[in-house]
Amino acid sequence: MAEFTGERVIPGQVDADLWNEHLARYAFAARLSRRKRVLDAGCGAGYGSAELARAAGHVTGVDNAAEAIAFAREHYPLPNLTFEQADVAALPFADASFDLVTAFEVIEHLENPPGFLREARRVLAGDGQLIVSTPNRLCYAESRAEAGPNPFHVREFEFDEFVAALREVFPDVRVFLENHAEGVVFQPAGGESGQSAEVRVEGAAVPGESHFFVAVCALRPQMGAPTFVFVPRAANILRERERHIAALAGELQLKEGWLEAAKSELAALNQEHQKLLAMFRALQEDLEARNRWAARLNDELNAAGERVARLQEELAAEQAGAREMAAAYEAQVAHLEAENRAKTEWAQQTETRLTGELAERGAELAACVEALHAAEAVVEERTRWAQGLQAQLEQLEAQVSAVRASRWVQLGRRIGLGPPLAPGGSV
């Protein structure tokens, strides 16, 4: 089901005044639609197209919203009425396809109003008419002072701007001023809807103070511009106002109950607010303390950053010195490696030479060892021989000592007898 959002009117979902001002425009246009081919551009929910179809030969309603077209097809299945989804600035119809084009409260929604007006002129027959309406920007702004601008409107027009835009495309433009007006109706009891009436309208309407502008545009000069009065079905304004006042009184009583409840809730909320305010102040003080702490940390961080920068510079200098030292060490190592290779080659050569010499002298050494062994054997033999002589000598010395100690030897010596017992000794 379509829902009223403020973009388009949905039957049964808007108040009587809003509904009547929209339906009145279609009643105004229906007088010019008899037996004609009619295009209702921006048809919305389709109620206006159905109103035109009561007198027209055939009506085609177009709208760019798929949900609006679906609603219109479901609620207004008339034999001389069709609905199509299309962009009013790019109509899918041949030139001169229609005798009448209506576009009520559409032009202010468009990004490209001149493009739509040119399309409307293209699909109109030579003697066709375009009926287009738009709200008066000055009056509309006052009525929406509290609600704010209509979010669905792209551009709103003042009277002179609206007329100038239409005359850029259509040579003949007749503008009617649409207003809600209080009136007194004399209607015969049992009278039928839509019957003819004599109307007396006093005073002249002023464009700047009018609610809406309704323009009838054509390519050829038009004849006549009579005043049209639409009296809605709920026409007893005084009775409607009394009912409205009663409804407002009920709403007021209900809202007063809501107000009392809201006051109680507000008091409770105020207490809660005070608690929250105290908490907020405590949190704010804590936040300020933390901010001061963060500021100190930031100063320390900046100082540390400067220290890091200095250390990085020192490190860069040390790294440069280290690279130079490493280069010197690498050169020295290369030199030492070259010397080591030379010494290794010399050692290898020396080892080869010594190995050869040792091989040559090995035989000589073996011979020397054998000679040494033989000499050792001789020494051992002579040692044994010397030891034997030593033993004999010791034995002889013992015998000599024994002889010398003999009384006979001592006596012989006293008398000069016996041989000497020691070389060069006396008897």
pLDDT in tens, 264-303: 888 888 888 898 888 999 988 988 999 999 899 889 889 8
DSSP state, 34?
T
State residue 244's pLDDT score. Answer: 58
CB atoms within 10 A of CB 4: 14
pTM of the predicted protein model = 0.56
Helical spans, DSSP H, in 31-112: 47-53, 66-75
Q: Which stretches does DSSP call E strand in 113-241?
A: 124-135, 172-178, 212-218
Task: Write out the H or E segment, with its range, that includes residue 424.
Answer: none
> What would the CATH number be for the domain defined by 16-235?
3.40.50.150
| Distances 43 to 9, 64, 72, 245 between C-alpha atoms, Å | 10, 9, 9, 34
Q: What is the pLDDT of residues 152-196, one digit of tens each?
A: 889 989 999 999 999 999 999 999 998 877 777 777 777 676 667
Domain ranges of the chain: 16-235, 237-373
Residue 186, phi then psi, degrees to nearest 5: -110, 105
Looking at the DSSP assignment, which residues form a beta bridge with residue 136?
A: 157
Cα separation of 145 and 15, whole Å?
A: 19
Is there a contact between 91 and 123 (Cβ–Cβ < 8 Å)?
A: yes
Cα separation of 331 and 334, whole Å?
A: 5
Task: Write out the H or E segment, with its range, that includes residue 103.
Answer: strand 98-104
Task: Write out the H or E segment, with its range, that includes residue 369.
Answer: helix 237-405
What value, to the nearest 5°, has the Cα angle with vertex 421 and ends 419 and 424? 95
Helical spans, DSSP H, in 93-236: 113-123, 137-143, 159-167
Cα separation of 288 and 107, whole Å?
A: 57
Residue-level pLDDT, tens digit, the chain, 427 residues: 455 555 567 776 766 777 788 889 999 999 999 999 999 999 999 999 999 999 999 999 999 999 999 999 999 999 999 999 999 999 999 999 999 999 999 999 999 999 999 999 999 999 999 999 999 988 877 776 677 777 888 998 999 999 999 999 999 999 999 887 777 777 777 767 666 777 877 777 788 878 899 999 999 998 877 887 777 765 555 555 666 577 667 777 887 888 888 888 888 888 888 988 889 999 889 889 999 998 998 898 898 888 888 888 888 888 888 788 878 878 887 888 888 788 888 878 887 887 777 777 777 777 777 888 887 888 788 888 888 888 888 888 887 777 777 776 677 767 766 666 555 444 3
State residue 409's pLDDT score. Answer: 66
Residue type for 156, please?
Answer: E
- Mean pLDDT of the residues in the chain: 84
State residue 425's pLDDT score. Answer: 44
Is the alpha carbon torsion for 196, 200, 205, 211 positive or negative? Answer: negative
